[in-house]
C-alpha cells in the first residue's frame, strides 16, 4: 500500500483484544467442495479453541445482482454449517443482513479505504472482466464490507481459502489506517488470515488453472455439497486429467495442474499429505485413482448432504438458530460500533 499512514509496522493486536474467530460464506449458488475444504472444514476445530462467529454473508450475495430465493439460500448455508459440524450453541451462526452494524461500519470504512487499494483487488478485476463500467458499486466495495464484517467483532483470526488472502490484507490495512488516522492505537486489531490444509485453493474439475467456484457456468467443474452419490462419481470420472499415470515428485505433479488438484483433494479428504497420496498411487492410472477418489468424496460429502437435507425440512428451526445467532452477534457488534462512532467524532 502506498499511503504513508499504513507503513508503520505494528503488532497485529497491541491492545490485547480478546481472540475471536470470524468467517463466512455468501449464499450465492451451490456450496461446493472448495468452500468446504478451503473454509468450513477448517472452522470445526477452532470452536474448541476460541470464541467463533460464522456468518452467512447475505449482503455480499447481492453485489452481482439480486438473488432469487435469497432467504432460502441463506438457510441452506446455515444448514450446511451445522451439517458439517458447526455447533450453533458454541459458535454464533447468523445472517449478516440481520446485524445492521456491518453495513454501518462499512460506510465508515469506505471513507478510510483508498480507491487505489481497491483498484488492486484481483477478484474484482476477474469478476468485472471487461464490464467494469457496468458492474455495481457494491461489487467494487465488497472488500470493505468484508473488512467491516470482521472488524465489527474485532475479529482476530479469519480462516478463509487462499482466494481471500488479498481481501484480508486489505482489511488489515483498513484497520491500521483507521487506528492511525484517528490516533486510536490498537482500536481495531489487524485480523490474521488463517489459510489451512493441503487444498487452500481447490481448482475446477474442468480446468486445473481456474478456481472451483459457485459462479462457474459448468456444473461439471465443481462437486456441490448437494450432489447425489451418482453425480459426485460422474463428475470425478469426467474430471480433466493428462494422459500420464500418477507419479514423480511433488514438484513434478504440481506442474500438472489437473493431476495436482485431484491428488490435493484426495489428501484433504483422507487427512494425508499430498506426498503420501503420491506414494500410495505411484504408477497408478487415473481411471483407478478416480474410482477411489469418488468413493472417498462420497464417504465425506454424502453424510453432510443428508444431514443438510434433514435440517432443511424444518425451516422454522433454522430461522430460530439464525435469530438467536443474530441476537448474540448484535450484543458484541453494537458496542464496538458505538465506540467506533465515538472515535470518529460523531455526536
Ligand atoms: N475453490 C476454492 N478453494 C478453496 N477455498 C475456497 N473458497 C471459495 N472457493 C474456494 C472459500 O470459501 C469461503 C467462502 O467463499 P464465498 O462463497 O463467500 O466466496 P468466493 O470465494 O467468491 O467463492 P466462490 O465459490 O468463488 O463464489 P462465487 O462464484 O459466488 O464468487 C471463503 O473462505 C473462500 O476463500
- Give per-residue pLDDT as tens, 295-344: 999 999 999 999 999 999 999 999 999 999 999 999 999 999 999 999 99
**CB of 202 sitting under 6 A from ligand 1:** yes
Look at residues 14, 338, 24 and name the one whose alpha carbon lies nearest to residue 175.
14
Look at residues 301, 241, 279 and name the one whose alpha carbon lies nearest to residue 37.
301
pLDDT at 4 > cutoff 90: no
Structure confidence at residue 114 as a pLDDT band (50, 70, 90):
very high
Count, residues in the chain: 347
**CB of 91 sitting under 6 A from ligand 1:** no
Mean pLDDT (the chain) is 95
| Environment class of 215 (CB within 10 Å of its CB; exposed 0-12, middle 13-18, buried 19+) | exposed
Q: How far apart are CA 106 and CA 215, in angstroms?
A: 25
Give, in order, the Cα–Cα distances in Å from 38 to each of 32, 35, 56, 70, 112.
10, 5, 16, 23, 30
pLDDT at 3 > cutoff 60: no
The helix (run of H) or strand (run of E) holding residue 329 is helix 315-343
Neighbouring CB atoms inside 10 A of 125's CB total 11
Task: Please identify which residue in the block is written with the cell numbers 507503513.
Answer: 7
90 is catalytic: no
The model's pLDDT over 131-150, given as tens digits with 9 standing for 90+, comes to 889 999 999 999 999 999 99
Q: Residue 182's Cα: distance from chain center in Å?
A: 30
211 is catalytic: yes
CB 42 within 8 A of CB 286: no
Residue 65 per-residue DSSP state: S
Structure confidence at residue 7 as a pLDDT band (50, 70, 90):
very low
Ligand 1 mutation target, pool 162, 213, 268, most atoms within 8 A of CB: 213
Ligand 1 mutation target, pool 23, 64, 96, 161, most atoms within 8 A of CB: 161
Handedness of CA 166, 171, 175, 177 (dihedral sign): positive
| Environment class of 158 (CB within 10 Å of its CB; exposed 0-12, middle 13-18, buried 19+) | buried
Going from the Cα of 113 to the center of ligand 1, the distance in angstroms, rounded, reads 23
Structure confidence at residue 10 as a pLDDT band (50, 70, 90):
low
Going from the Cα of 235 to the center of ligand 1, the distance in angstroms, rounded, reads 19
Q: Indicate the pTM of the whole model.
A: 0.94
Amino acid at each position: 500500500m502506498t499511503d504513508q499512514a499504513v507503513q508503520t509496522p505494528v503488532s497485529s493486536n497491541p491492545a490485547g483484544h480478546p481472540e475471536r474467530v470470524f468467517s463466512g460464506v455468501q449464499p450465492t449458488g451451490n456450496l461446493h467442495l472448495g468452500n468446504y475444504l478451503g473454509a468450513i472444514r477448517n472452522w470445526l476445530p477452532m470452536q474448541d479453541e476460541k470464541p467463533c462467529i460464522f456468518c452467512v454473508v447475505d449482503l455480499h450475495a447481492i453485489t452481482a445482482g439480486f438473488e432469487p430465493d435469497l432467504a432460502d439460500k441463506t438457510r441452506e448455508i446455515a444448514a450446511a454449517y451445522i451439517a458439517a459440524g458447526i455447533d450453533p450453541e458454541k459458535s454464533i451462526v447468523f445472517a449478516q443482513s440481520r446485524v445492521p452494524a456491518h453495513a454501518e461500519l462499512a460506510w465508515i470504512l469506505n471513507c478510510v479505504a483508498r480507491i487505489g487499494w481497491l483498484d488492486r483487488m484481483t477478484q474484482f478485476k476477474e469478476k468485472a472482466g471487461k464490464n467494469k463500467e457496468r458492474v455495481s458499486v457494491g461489487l467494487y466495495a465488497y472488500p470493505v464490507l468484508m473488512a467491516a464484517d470482521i472488524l465489527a467483532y474485532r475479529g482476530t483470526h479469519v480462516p478463509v481459502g487462499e482466494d481471500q488472502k488479498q481481501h484480508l490484507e486489505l482489511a488489515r490495512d483498513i484497520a491500521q489506517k483507521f487506528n492511525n488516522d484517528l490516533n486510536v492505537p490498537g482500536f481495531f486489531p489487524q485480523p490474521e488470515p488463517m489459510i489451512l490444509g493441503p487444498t487452500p485453493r481447490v481448482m475446477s474439475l474442468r480446468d486445473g488453472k481456474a478456481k472451483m467456484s459457485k459462479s462457474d457456468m459448468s456444473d461439471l467443474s465443481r462437486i456441490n455439497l448437494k450432489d447425489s452419490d451418482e453425480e459426485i462419481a460422474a463428475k470425478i470420472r469426467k474430471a480433466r486429467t493428462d494422459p500420464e499415470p500418477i507419479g514423480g515428485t511433488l514438484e513434478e505433479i504440481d506442474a500438472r495442474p489437473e493431476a495436482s488438484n485431484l491428488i490435493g483433494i484426495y489428501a484433504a479428504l483422507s487427512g494425508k499429505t499430498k506426498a503420501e497420496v503420491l506414494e500410495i498411487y505411484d504408477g497408478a492410472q487415473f481411471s483407478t485413482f478416480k474410482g477411489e477418489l469418488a468413493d472417498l468424496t462420497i464417504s465425506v460429502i454424502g453424510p453432510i448432504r443428508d444431514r443438510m437435507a434433514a435440517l432443511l425440512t424444518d425451516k422454522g428451526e433454522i430461522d430460530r438458530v439464525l435469530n438467536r445467532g443474530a441476537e448474540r452477534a448484535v450484543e458484541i457488534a453494537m458496542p464496538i460500533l458505538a465506540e467506533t462512532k465515538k472515535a470518529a467524532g460523531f455526536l
